[in-house]
C-alpha cells in the first residue's frame, strides 16, 4: 500500500473502519465455529477499538488524518464567526497584497538584475564633487572624450561602456511630416557584446559601428518596440529612420527581454555613440559610464582602479583649455576636485531609481505596518477565541490529547486564514502594482517596468504567508497549549492573562498606526504646500506647442509664425520662448558684472519673444518688456533674485534698469531693461533662483541673426479648454511650410501638474494607508475593549452592586487602555522622527518637528480611540448587577 493509497484512505475513513471491523468479525466467527469459547476469543483480541485504531493508523496516513480533521474543524470555527473571519481575511488580504505589490515595484525598479551576462560584475561610474550651490553632489554623466581616455587607461582590467539616457525623441519612419516619439539611446559599440546579448533578428551594434564620428548610421531597435510598433515584421531590416537631421538604417532587433539599462524607461532605438555630435565635445557630459570587470578580475581591483580613473579624469579636466576661461582659481579648483565612485550597476541606472528609491522605501514601510496592524487584530481575535475555548482545551488535554496536537489545531486555523487571504492578496497585487506604476510618471510619458510574477515574487509571497501564519498562530497556540487542565476545569485560571497580552497588542498597534499617520500627514502636507505654491504666472488657457525646425530657422520666421497664430480667431495672445516654464529644462549661464570674474553662483536664463511676459501674465515691476528690435546679446530682463544676487549695492527700491552684465568674461554686454518678480522656472520644489530673460532674436558677433532650431509657442486661448484649438493651430503652422513643425502639444497647466506627480502619488497612497491603518486600529481597539468588558462582567456587576459610581466603572474599563494608547503613540512618534529623517528629501516645506505634524496624528488616534471605546463603555455602564449576580 503506497503513500497515495494511505492518503486516499484518509478521505474514506468510514469505509476503511468498516472493512477492518468486517475482517475482524469474520475472524471471530470462524474461531467460534472451530469450537473456541466466544468470550475467550474476544479477550484474545483485546480492546476491539485499539485493534481497529492500530490497523487504521497503519493503513491511513495518520498525520494527514489529523490535519484533515483540524482543517475541517478550523473551517467550521471560521464559518461560525462569519463576520469576524471575513473582516480578518479582508484586512489580511489588503495587507499582504499591498506588501507584495510594493515588493514587486521595489524589486523591479531597484533590485532585479538586468537580463544580461555578468550583471554582478557591472558597476556605474559616478563622481562626487561640490555642486553649484556649495553642496556635495554626485553626478553620473560624462563627456565622450573623457570616457575614451578612461576606457583606454583601465582596458586591461575592465571594459568601460557608455550609454546615454533613452530620451523621448522625434523620429520619422517615412516622410518628415509623419513624426512620432520614441525613446532613443546612444550606446558605445562594445555594449551589446559585453552584455552577452544575441539579436532576435539581423545583427546588433558592435565596436566596428562606433569607430569614427558620424560614419556608421546604423540603428538597432528593441524587441519591445519591434513588437508593438511593427508587429514583429521581419521586413524592418534595411528600413531607414530619420532622427534629427540624420538617417539610420535598421540592422537588427535586440533580444526579447532587454529593454536598455535605464530602469523605468523602455529603450526603443539604440544608436552608436559616435553618431551623436556631442561625442566630440569636451564639455558635454551627456552619457553614463558602466564599468564591466574583465573575467578573473576580483572586486579588490576596484579601489586601485578607482584611484587611477580619478587621476585620469583630473588630468582630462585640467587639460581642457576652453573650459575655464575667466574663471577664478578657486572655482576651477572646486570643479577639478572630483573623486570617482563605483556603484553596483547590475540592476541598471536611472533617474527614476534615484527619485523613487526613498518613496518606495516609505511606501514599503507603511504597507508593512498596515499588515502588522491587521496581524495584531487577527491574532487578538484568535486569542479571544482560544480563551473562550480554554475549557475545551483543558478537557482535550485531560483526556489525553497531545499538546502538539493542540498547537497544530490552532496553527492550522491560522494557516487557513492566511492562505485564503494570500489567495485574495495575489489578485490584489496583480492589479495594484501596475496601477501604481501607471501613476509614477506624467501620463504622456509613463514609466514602464517589467513586473513579472516569477519565482522572486512567489517566494516573497510564500515567505510572507508563512511568517504571518507563525505571527498569527504562535502566540494563541502557545497560550492554549499551556492550559492547565485542573485550573481551567475548576472555572478558569488567571482571567487577566489574555487581556494583558491584548493590552500589549494595543500599544503595538497604536504605535504602528501613529507612525503611518505621521508619515502620511507629512506627505500630504508636502503635496498641498507644493501644489499651492504661488507661481507668479498664469496657467489658465495656455496652450504650448513645442516645435522644432530641423537645422534651424531665423528668428524673424518664428516671429512671423507667432503673428500668424495670433491672427487665428479664438486666440487671445501668442508668443514664443526657447522652452516652456516648469518643463524640466534648465540651462545656466555664468554672470560677470563689470568685467569681474563670474560669481560662483550662476543664473538661469530663457529666450523669449516680445509679448511672452504678458501672455504668461508675468508683471514687469520696473522698466519694460522686450521690443521686436531688441536682441541677445543686447537687452535683458531680470528677476528680483537676480538683482539681489548680482547687484548687492542697490538699495531696496532702486531699480537696476540700465545696469549691465556679461555672460562670462569677454562676452558681449547685456543691458537690463526690465525687472520681473521671482517665478519658479524649472522645478517647483526648488527655491527661486536668479533668472534672466533675453530676446529670442539671437545675433552673432557680426550682428547677423542666428537660426533657432527649437522653441515653444505659448498661446492664450479665449476658450476654456486650450487643447481644443491644438489641431487647428498645428495646421496653421504646417501650412506655412517654413520648416517649423510641432513636435509636442501640452498645456501650461499640465506641466505644472506633472511637477507634482511624485508628491501626489505618495500623498494619495499614504492617505489611503493611513485611513486603512486608522480603521484597523479602531476595530482592534473596539474588539479588545468589548472582549474585556464581557469578560469582566461579573467584576463590574459586583462593583456596581456594592455602590461603585459610574465614573469608577468608566475608569476601570478605559484607564489602562488609554495608558497603552499614550505609550503607543509616543513610541510611534519617536519611530516617526527617525523614519522621517530617511525620507526628508521627499518633503516640501514641512519638518517632522512642526507642531501641527505631531498634533495631527495624535488627534486622529485620540478621536478614533474615543469612538472605538464608546460602545464598550456604554455596555459596561448598562451592566445590570442583579442579572449578573443571579446568573452566578
Partner 1 sequence: MAKTDSLQGSLDLLVLKILSRRPRLHGYAIMAAIASTSGEVLRAEEGSLYPALYRMEEAGWIRAEWVKKETGRRARIYELTDAGNERLGAEESRWQSVSFAINRVLREA
The binding site for partner 1 (CB under 8 A) comprises 1-2, 6, 19-20, 22-24, 26-27, 29-31, 34, 41, 44-46, 50-51, 54-55, 58-59
Nearer to partner 1, 33 or 212 (CB): 33
46 versus 443: smaller Cβ distance to partner 1: 46
**Alpha-carbon span 591 to 327, nearest angstrom:** 11
DSSP 698: B
Tell the smallest beta-carbon distance from residue 231 to partner 1 (Å).
59
Residue 15 Cβ vs partner 1, minimum distance, rounded to whole Å: 12
Nearer to partner 1, 26 or 402 (CB): 26
User: Considering beta carbons, is residue 58 or 90 the nearer one to partner 1?
Assistant: 58
CB of 31 to partner 1, least distance (A): 6
In terms of Cβ atoms closer than 10 Å to its own Cβ (0-12, 13-18, 19+), residue 213 is middle
Q: Check if the beta carbon of residue 522 is closer than 8 Å to that of residue 675.
A: no
Contact criterion met (CB below 8 Å) for 588 and 283: no
Report d(CA 260, CA 375) in Å as an integer: 40
- Whole-angstrom distance, CA of residue 714 vs CA of residue 745: 10
All cell numbers assigned to 245: 537631421
Q: Which three cell numbers stand for residue 759?
A: 508628491
Least separation in angstroms between residue 46's CB and partner 1 is: 4
- Beta-bridged to residue 249, according to DSSP, are 218, 240
Across the strands, what pairs with 243? Answer: 171, 246
- Tell me which residue of 282, 257, 319, 18 sits closest to 114, measured CA to CA: 257
Q: What SS3 class is residue 201?
A: strand
CB of 92 to partner 1, least distance (A): 40
Closer Cβ to partner 1, 19 or 816, answer by number? 19
Rounded Cα–Cα distance for residues 544 and 712 (Å)? 6
DSSP state of 237: T
Q: Which is nearer to partner 1, 22 or 176 (CB)?
A: 22
CB of 257 to partner 1, least distance (A): 48
- Rounded distance, CA 12 to CA 64, Å? 13
What is the DSSP annotation of 373-438? HHHHHHHHHHHHHHHHTHHHHHHHHHTT--HHHHHHHHHHHHHHHHHHHHHHHHHHHHHHHHHHHH
**787-792-798 Cα angle (round to 5):** 155
Name the minimum Å distance from CB 8 to partner 1.
13
20 or 158: whose CB is closer to partner 1? 20
State the Cα–Cα distance between residues 788 and 499, nearest whole angstrom: 7
Cβ-based neighbours of 804, under 8 Å, separated by 6 or more? 812
Distance of CA 188 to the CA centre of its chain: 30
Supply the minimum distance, in Å, between the C-beta of residue 16 and partner 1. 10
> Which residues are paired to 415 by β-bridges?
none
* Residue with Cβ nearer partner 1 (47 or 728): 47
* Least gap, CB of 36 to partner 1 (angstroms): 11
SS3 12: coil
Task: Identify whether the C-beta of residue 743 lies closer than 8 Å to the C-beta of residue 547.
Answer: yes
CB nearer to partner 1: give 61 or 197: 61
Q: Report the C-alpha gap between 746 and 864 in whole angstroms.
A: 44
- By C-beta, is 58 or 117 nearer to partner 1? 58
Q: How far apart are CA 213 and CA 145, in angstroms?
A: 12
Which lies closer to partner 1 via its Cβ, residue 27 or residue 584?
27
Query: Which residue, 25 or 721, is less far from partner 1 as judged by CB?
Result: 25
Considering the complex, what minimum distance in angstroms separates the CB of residue 28 from partner 1?
8
Smallest distance from partner 1 to CB 519, Å? 59
* Comparison of 34 and 322: residue with beta carbon closer to partner 1: 34
Query: Are residues 485 and 803 in contact, defined by beta-carbon separation less than 8 angstroms?
Result: no
Task: Give dist(CA 331, CA 602) in Å, integer.
Answer: 12
What is the nearest approach in angstroms of partner 1 to the Cβ of residue 405?
Answer: 22
**Are the CB atoms for 622 and 675 separated by under 8 Å?**
yes
Name the minimum Å distance from CB 57 to partner 1.
9
Q: Assign 8 to helix, strand or coil.
A: helix
Select 59 or 541, whichever has its Cβ closest to partner 1.
59
Contacts of 193 (CB under 8 A, 6+ apart): 204, 206, 207
Tell me the closest approach of the beta carbon of residue 30 to partner 1, in angstroms. Answer: 4
Cβ nearer to partner 1, comparing 23 with 454: 23
How many CA atoms lie less than 13 Å away from 879 in the CB half-sphere?
Answer: 29
Q: In terms of CB distance, is 16 or 101 closer to partner 1? A: 16
Q: How far is the CB of 45 from partner 1 (least distance, A)?
A: 5
Nearer to partner 1, 44 or 388 (CB): 44
The grid coordinates listed for 513 are: 498606526
User: Can you tell me the distance from the alpha carbon of 187 to that of 204, in angstroms, rounded to the nearest whole number?
Assistant: 11
Calpha distance 279→286 (Å, rounded): 9
CB of residue 23 to partner 1, shortest distance in Å: 5
Quickly tell me which residue has 502619488 as its cell: 761
Closer CB to partner 1, 42 or 566, in the complex: 42
Q: Are 566 and 732 in contact (CB under 8 A)?
A: no
Task: Report DSSP letters for 144-188, one per residue.
Answer: HHHHHHHHHHTTTTEEEEEEE--EEEEEESSSTT-EEEEEEEEE-
Q: Please tell me the distance from the alpha carbon of residue 583 to that of residue 752, in angstroms, as a whole number.
A: 8
Task: Please answer whether residues 536 and 711 qualify as being in contact, where contact means their C-beta atoms are separated by less than 8 angstroms.
Answer: no
- Closest distance of CB 68 from partner 1, Å: 19
Q: How far is the CB of 77 from partner 1 (least distance, A)?
A: 33
C-alpha cell at 84: 469576524
Amino acid at each position: 500500500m503506497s503513500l497515495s493509497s494511505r492518503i486516499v484512505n484518509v478521505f474514506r475513513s468510514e469505509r476503511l473502519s468498516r472493512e477492518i471491523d468486517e475482517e475482524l468479525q469474520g475472524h471471530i466467527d470462524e474461531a467460534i465455529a472451530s469450537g473456541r469459547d466466544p468470550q475467550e476469543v474476544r479477550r484474545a483480541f483485546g480492546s476491539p477499538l485499539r485493534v481497529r485504531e492500530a490497523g487504521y493508523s497503519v493503513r491511513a496516513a495518520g498525520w494527514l488524518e489529523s490535519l484533515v480533521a483540524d482543517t475541517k474543524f478550523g473551517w467550521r470555527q471560521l464559518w461560525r464567526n462569519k463576520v469576524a473571519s471575513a473582516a480578518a481575511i479582508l484586512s489580511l488580504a489588503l495587507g499582504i497584497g499591498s506588501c507584495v505589490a510594493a515588493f514587486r515595484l521595489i524589486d523591479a525598479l531597484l533590485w532585479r538584475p538586468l537580463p544580461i551576462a555578468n550583471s554582478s560584475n557591472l558597476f556605474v561610474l559616478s563622481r562626487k564633487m561640490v555642486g553649484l550651490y556649495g553642496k556635495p553632489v554626485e553626478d553620473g554623466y560624462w563627456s565622450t572624450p573623457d570616457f575614451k581616455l578612461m576606457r583606454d587607461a583601465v582596458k586591461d582590467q575592465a571594459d568601460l561602456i557608455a550609454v546615454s539616457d533613452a530620451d523621448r525623441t522625434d523620429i520619422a519612419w517615412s516622410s518628415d511630416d509623419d513624426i512620432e516619439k520614441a525613446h532613443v539611446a546612444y550606446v558605445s559599440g562594445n555594449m551589446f557584446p559585453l552584455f552577452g546579448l544575441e539579436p532576435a533578428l539581423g545583427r546588433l551594434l558592435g565596436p566596428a559601428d562606433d569607430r569614427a564620428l558620424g560614419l556608421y548610421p546604423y540603428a538597432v531597435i528593441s524587441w519591445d518596440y519591434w513588437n508593438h510598433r511593427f508587429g514583429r515584421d521581419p521586413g524592418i531590416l534595411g528600413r531607414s529612420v530619420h532622427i534629427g537631421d540624420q538617417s539610420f538604417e535598421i540592422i537588427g532587433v535586440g533580444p526579447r527581454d532587454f529593454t536598455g539599462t535605464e530602469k523605468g524607461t523602455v529603450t526603443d532605438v539604440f544608436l552608436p555613440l559616435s553618431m551623436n555630435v556631442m561625442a566630440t565635445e569636451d564639455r558635454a557630459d551627456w552619457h553614463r559610464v558602466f564599468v564591466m570587470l574583465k573575467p578573473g578580475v576580483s572586486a579588490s581591483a576596484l579601489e586601485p582602479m578607482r584611484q587611477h580613473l580619478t587621476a585620469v579624469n583630473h588630468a582630462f579636466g585640467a587639460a581642457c583649455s576652453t573650459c575655464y576661461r575667466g574663471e577664478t582659481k578657486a572655482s576651477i579648483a572646486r570643479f577639478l576636485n572630483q573623486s570617482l565612485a563605483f556603484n553596483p550597476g547590475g540592476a541598471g541606472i536611472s533617474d527614476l531609481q534615484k527619485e523613487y528609491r526613498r518613496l518606495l522605501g516609505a511606501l514599503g514601510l507603511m504597507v508593512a505596518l498596515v499588515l502588522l496592524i491587521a496581524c495584531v487584530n487577527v491574532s487578538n481575535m484568535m486569542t479571544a477565541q482560544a480563551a473562550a475555548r480554554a475549557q475545551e482545551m483543558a478537557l482535550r488535554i485531560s483526556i489525553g490529547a497531545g499538546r502538539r496536537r493542540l498547537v497544530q489545531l490552532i496553527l492550522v486555523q491560522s494557516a487557513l486564514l492566511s492562505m485564503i487571504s494570500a489567495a485574495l492578496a495575489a489578485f490584489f497585487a496583480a492589479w495594484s502594482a501596475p496601477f501604481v506604476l501607471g501613476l509614477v510618471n506624467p501620463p504622456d510619458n509613463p514609466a514602464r517596468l517589467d513586473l513579472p510574477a516569477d519565482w522572486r515574487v512567489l517566494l516573497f509571497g510564500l515567505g510572507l504567508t508563512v511568517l504571518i501564519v507563525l505571527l498569527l498562530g504562535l502566540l494563541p497556540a502557545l497560550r492554549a497549549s499551556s492550559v492547565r487542565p485542573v485550573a481551567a476545569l475548576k472555572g478558569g485560571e488567571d482571567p487577566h492573562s489574555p487581556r494583558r497580552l491584548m493590552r500589549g497588542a494595543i500599544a503595538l498597534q497604536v504605535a504602528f498606526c501613529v507612525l503611518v499617520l505621521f508619515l502620511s500627514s507629512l506627505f500630504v502636507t508636502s503635496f498641498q504646500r507644493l501644489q499651492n505654491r504661488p507661481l507668479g504666472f498664469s496657467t489658465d488657457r495656455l496652450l504650448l506647442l513645442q516645435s522644432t525646425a530641423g537645422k534651424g530657422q531665423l528668428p524673424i520666421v518664428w516671429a512671423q509664425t507667432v503673428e500668424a497664430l495670433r491672427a487665428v480667431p479664438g486666440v487671445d495672445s501668442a508668443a514664443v520662448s526657447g522652452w516652456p516654464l516648469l518643463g524640466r529644462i534648465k540651462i545656466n549661464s555664468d554672470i560677470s558684472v563689470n568685467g569681474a570674474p563670474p560669481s560662483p553662483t550662476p543664473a538661469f536664463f530663457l529666450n523669449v519673444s516680445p509679448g511672452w511676459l504678458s501672455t504668461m501674465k508675468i508683471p514687469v515691476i520696473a522698466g519694460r518688456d522686450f521690443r521686436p528690435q531688441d536682441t541677445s546679446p543686447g537687452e535683458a530682463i531680470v528677476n528680483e533674485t537676480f538683482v539681489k544676487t548680482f547687484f548687492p549695492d542697490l538699495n531696496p527700491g532702486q531699480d537696476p534698469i540700465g545696469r549691465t552684465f556679461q555672460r562670462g568674461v569677454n562676452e558681449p554686454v547685456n543691458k537690463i531693461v526690465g525687472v520681473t518678480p521671482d517665478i519658479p522656472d524649472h522645478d517647483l520644489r526648488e527655491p527661486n533662483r536668479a533668472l534672466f530673460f533675453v530676446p529670442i532674436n539671437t545675433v552673432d558677433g557680426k550682428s547677423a541673426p542666428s537660426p533657432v532650431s527649437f522653441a515653444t509657442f505659448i498661446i492664450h486661448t479665449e476658450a476654456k479648454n486650450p487643447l481644443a484649438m491644438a489641431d487647428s493651430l498645428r495646421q496653421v503652422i504646417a501650412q506655412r511650410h517654413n520648416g517649423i513643425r510641432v513636435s509636442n502639444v501640452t498645456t501650461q497647466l499640465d506641466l505644472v501638474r506633472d511637477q507634482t506627480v511624485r508628491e501626489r502619488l505618495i500623498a494619495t497612497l499614504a492617505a489611503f494607508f493611513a485611513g486603512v491603518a486608522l480603521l484597523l486600529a479602531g476595530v482592534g481597539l473596539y474588539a479588545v475593549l468589548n472582549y474585556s468588558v464581557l469578560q469582566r462582567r461579573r467584576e463590574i456587576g459586583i462593583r456596581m452592586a456594592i455602590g461603585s459610581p459610574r465614573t469608577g466603572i468608566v475608569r476601570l474599563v478605559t484607564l489602562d487602555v488609554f495608558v497603552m494608547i499614550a505609550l503607543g503613540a509616543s513610541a510611534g512618534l519617536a519611530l516617526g522622527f527617525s523614519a522621517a529623517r530617511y525620507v526628508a528629501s521627499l518633503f516640501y516645506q514641512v519638518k517632522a518637528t512642526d507642531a501641527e505634524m505631531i498634533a495631527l496624528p495624535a488627534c486622529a488616534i485620540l478621536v478614533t480611540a474615543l469612538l472605538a471605546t464608546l460602545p464598550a463603555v456604554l455596555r459596561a455602564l448598562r451592566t445590570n448587577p442583579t442579572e449578573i449576580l443571579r446568573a452566578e
